[in-house]
């Protein structure tokens, strides 16, 4: 399933909205539910009786796994860093940008967990 990820604002420590650091989008080919379950198994996640993630291997190993999934499932990158004007047109651009890792991590966990129901 094709999904478009877009940078969003976040809440600062003082409760005020912080504008996104990037403009644009990343197109992702999200896996089917069964493939997500296989990924969760590969990452040593445990699923409870309700089908929710109960716990994980945790830490750095989980983040590495998520970033690798992001790289595998990203189909198109069209991002621009607001402050510097740096343009990112491929996954490697994100790998080498100082703030690109945050995006790869977020997208990796999106691949693992699927989008929120309201974002489909």
User: Residue 31's Cα: distance from chain center in Å?
Assistant: 13
Residue 98: helix, strand or coil by DSSP?
coil
Give the per-residue pLDDT at 120. 46
Cα(20)–Cα(7) distance, integer angstroms: 6
Domain count of the fold of the chain: 1
Residue 65's nearest CA partner among 89, 90, 36, 88 is 36
Domain that holds residue 82: 2-119
pTM for the model: 0.81
Give the per-residue pLDDT at 10. 84
Cα distances (Å, whole numbers) of residue 61 to 45, 57, 91, 115, 120: 12, 7, 20, 22, 28
> Which DSSP letter does residue 112 get?
H
Mean pLDDT by 10 residues, the chain (120 residues): 92 87 96 90 74 63 90 97 94 93 93 71
Spell out the residues 6+ positions from residue 108 whose beta carbon is closer than 8 angstroms to its own. Answer: 63, 65, 66, 67, 68, 69, 70
Placement of tokens 């990158």 in the chain = 77
Give the per-residue pLDDT at 47. 66
Give the per-residue pLDDT at 44. 76
Residue 24's nearest CA partner among 111, 95, 110, 103 is 103
């Amino acid at each position: 399933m094709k999904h478009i990820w877009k940078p969003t604002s976040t809440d600062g420590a003082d409760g005020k909205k912080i504008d996104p650091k990037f403009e644009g989008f990343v197109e992702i080919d999200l896996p089917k539910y069964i493939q997500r379950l296989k990924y969760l198994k590969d990452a040593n996640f445990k699923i409870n009786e309700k089908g929710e993630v109960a716990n994980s291997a945790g830490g750095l190993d989980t983040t590495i796994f998520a970033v690798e999934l992001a790289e595998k499932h990203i189909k198109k990158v069209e991002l621009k860093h607001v402050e510097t004007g740096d343009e990112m047109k491929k996954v490697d651009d994100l790998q080498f940008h100082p703030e690109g890792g945050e995006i790869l991590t977020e997208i990796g966990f999106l691949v693992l967990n699927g989008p929120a129901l309201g974002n489909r």
